[in-house]
Structure 1
Amino acid sequence: MKFTGTDSYVATEDLTIAVNAAVTLERPLLVKGEPGTGKTELARQVSAALGMPMLEWHIKSTTKAQQGLYEYDAVSRLRDSQLGDARVHDVANYIRKGKLWQAFEAEERVVLLIDEIDKADIEFPNDLLQELDRMEFHVYETGQTVRAVNRPVVIITSNNEKELPDAFLRRCFFHYIRFPGIETMRRIVEVHYPGIKDELLTTALTQFYEIRDTAGLRKRPSTSEVLDWLKLLLAEDLSAADIRREGKDALPKLYGALLKNEQDVQMFERLAFMARGGR
């Protein structure tokens, strides 16, 4: 089985090579890139393309590695013991399986997404080293060892908010999703909005890349944001002439889909004012 992208996901050649290399090596694929470049969606498309079920583990700042394995609900067991419930005699009744456990015991090979690993504590990746390497872990409360029936395809995403430990990186196949160039972006847009008028698309993408390349921009718009912007332009039935700006520094039509903080909006307003000669 080889991943070559899907009808709804444009995968560049280097990305497909990375996915297939990670599958062949049976190592986690660590994917980095700007927010909005399709890292999370990649896992869903790999799942669809390879015909594998998918499990998603979305990481938060409070997430602990142990939660991916299992959690022991001691509070419920204590409450049940006070009520005389017979379930208390079997500790397994109070073990909640995490996403790794579910992936390990699945009857068929699955895609496991560990999304935004860099949101968690710095020790989080280290706490998963052995489990992801050996594909097994021990359940201390029951004394059992859980081993992967079928080694899952593990895809880990990171927005590069913090550095990941070297020991963790050694166990991964790494790929950085570069921001797509204009021709790749055209292909992406065609997937989402087939038949979009070429003049409108050319004008919109020219503006989009001008905005992204503006010096001093605090939050550069991403792929998902240009898709939202184009959706609005199409919904309003705007033409290329309708969205042309007086100068490259002027605010674009429906700019709220592209500019996401007041500092960037104010910067473009100042640039537009200066371009008009301060009038």
Structure 2
Amino acid sequence: MNEPLEYTGKYQPTPAEIEQQGIYPYLPSGDLIEAVNLAIAQQRPLLLEGEAGCGKTGLAVAIAYEFTQKYLKGTTRQWPYFFWKITSETRLQDGFYRYNCIKLFRENQLFESLNSLEKSIDPLELEQRINRLKESRSYREWGPLAEAFQQEDYRPIVLIDGIDKAQIDFSRDLPLEFDEMVYKVKETGEIIEAKNKPIIIITHNNKTPLADDVLRKCFYFYVEFPDEERLEEIIQLRFPKLNRSQNQLIENAIACCLEMREIIQERPEGRPPGTGEVIEFIGALLQKPVKQAQISLENLPEQIALLGTLIKSKEDRVFYQNYE
């Protein structure tokens, strides 16, 4: 595909897709759209920072959805998208492959047992097991980066989620792979080389500093909490076809959430609710009859369960409840 790729943020899922496929609307700012397109054009990763729940992880899915609608319309294909969740135990190699040594060991043990009982085992089954043990590739399992590297028709989208959770050597070594786009499987000798350079989105919660090499290789963008007008647009996209009283409920709920954010931000260690939590809170309110939901809003400090959709620590909840 030779057509230049461009993300606009204008393609949003239908209510049916939201309900049936769990694909949610994503309303990026103009600056974020520009950052995405710069990263695509310059073939550099896009590093996203921002508060938890501000929508960092949803961007990659939104780009994949738009590219499917825009460039693959009329086909049954989906734009290639790969998700790599980072944990404290993640190794760089895991993005490319895992070699199942335990499976190899167990099959070796089984083979020895079968070999000792060769006369009672079907010869064809025995031959198949021997061939599998000889073929080292059968114990190699591709990771998300290797899967992306093997996409021939389109530039795949890769989300590397939560790079701040990895060990320091992970973020130090990752930039080398951005440059070379080639990796060798030491157990099999296979060479994995990117057929199309992936569009890489990296999320970082700003909890730990990143290696300078990562920062140099990436475009950087801080995802701000949306202002009131944009937040209303996001909520309307997420919860379409509401009646007048429900829309009034949402307006009151948004005002309440914005006030809560201001209060919790006064606490030095406070974690104000992000966009995702506001959406969850409004979804919980809409499960109730409107009059009951309005009463819950008016008495929100006493609504312990409902507060749990917005506030994620006891300290923040107590601070909010006792705020004057």
Work out whether the TM-score is over 0.5: yes
Is this contact kept in 2: 1:30–1:175, CA < 8 A?
yes
TM superposition shift of 1:35: 0.9
1:135-146 to structure 2, matched below 5 A, reads 135-146=181-192
Uncovered stretches (5+) of structure 2, i.e. residues with no partner: 13-24, 69-78, 113-128
Is this contact kept in 1: 2:302–2:321, CA < 8 A?
no
Q: What is the CA–CA distance in structure 2 between the aligned matches of 1:261 and 1:157, rounded to whole Å?
A: 23
Q: Which residue of 1 aligns with 2:239?
A: 193
Q: What is the CA–CA distance in structure 1 between the aligned matches of 2:144 and 2:35, rounded to whole Å?
A: 24
TM superposition shift of 1:42: 0.7
* Alignment match of 1:34 (pick from 35, 42, 51): 51
Q: What is the CA–CA distance in structure 2 between the aligned matches of 1:265 and 1:143, rounded to whole Å?
A: 55
- The structure where helix makes up a greater share of residues is 2
Q: What is the CA–CA distance in structure 1 between the aligned matches of 2:252 and 2:105, rounded to whole Å?
A: 65
Q: What is the CA–CA distance in structure 2 between the aligned matches of 1:70 and 1:165, rounded to whole Å?
A: 23
**Which stretch shifts more, 171-180 or 217-226?**
217-226
Q: What is the CA–CA distance in structure 1 between the aligned matches of 2:302 and 2:192, rounded to whole Å?
A: 55
Q: Which residue of 2 aligns with 1:12?
A: 29
Q: What is the CA–CA distance in structure 1 between the aligned matches of 2:188 and 2:283, rounded to whole Å?
A: 53
After superposition, the Cα gap between the structure-2 partners of 1:252 and 1:202, relative to the gap in structure 1 and judged at 3 Å, is: farther
CA deviation profile, 1:130-159 (whole Å, cap 9, x unmatched): 222221112222223211111111111111
Q: What is the CA–CA distance in structure 2 between the aligned matches of 1:158 and 1:224, rounded to whole Å?
A: 16
Q: Does 1:266 align with 2:308?
A: no
Is this contact kept in 2: 1:204–1:243, CA < 8 A?
no
CA deviation profile, 1:143-194 (whole Å, cap 9, x unmatched): 2321111111111111112111011111111111011111110110110122
TM superposition shift of 1:79: 3.4
The root-mean-square deviation of aligned C-alpha atoms, in Å, is 2.1
Q: Which residue of 2 aligns with 1:104?
A: 149
Uncovered stretches (5+) of structure 1, i.e. residues with no partner: none
Q: Does 1:43 align with 2:72?
A: no
**Which stretch shifts more, 127-136 or 176-185?**
127-136
Q: Does 1:242 align with 2:287?
A: no
* Paired amino acid for 1:203: N
TM superposition shift of 1:243: 5.1
Q: What is the CA–CA distance in structure 2 between the aligned matches of 1:10 and 1:207, rounded to whole Å?
A: 21
* Paired amino acid for 1:111: I
Q: Which residue of 2 aligns with 1:209?
A: 258
TM superposition shift of 1:57: 0.8
* Alignment match of 2:219 (pick from 173, 176, 179): 173
Q: Which residue of 1 aligns with 2:275?
A: 223
Is this contact kept in 2: 1:136–1:148, CA < 8 A?
yes
* Alignment match of 2:161 (pick from 90, 95, 115): 115
Q: What is the CA–CA distance in structure 1 between the aligned matches of 2:308 and 2:145, rounded to whole Å?
A: 39
TM superposition shift of 1:69: 1.4
1:43-82 to structure 2, matched below 5 A, reads 43-51=60-68, 52-82=79-109
* Paired amino acid for 1:200: L
Q: Which residue of 1 aligns with 2:197?
A: 151
The count of residues paired between Structure 1 and Structure 2 equals: 269
Identity score, percent: 35
Q: What is the CA–CA distance in structure 1 between the aligned matches of 2:91 and 2:287, rounded to whole Å?
A: 43
**Which stretch shifts more, 151-160 or 213-222?**
213-222
Is this contact kept in 2: 1:73–1:96, CA < 8 A?
yes
Q: What is the CA–CA distance in structure 1 between the aligned matches of 2:321 and 2:53, rounded to whole Å?
A: 25
SS in 2 for 1:183: helix
TM superposition shift of 1:127: 2.2
Q: Which residue of 2 aligns with 1:251?
A: 301
TM superposition shift of 1:256: 2.7
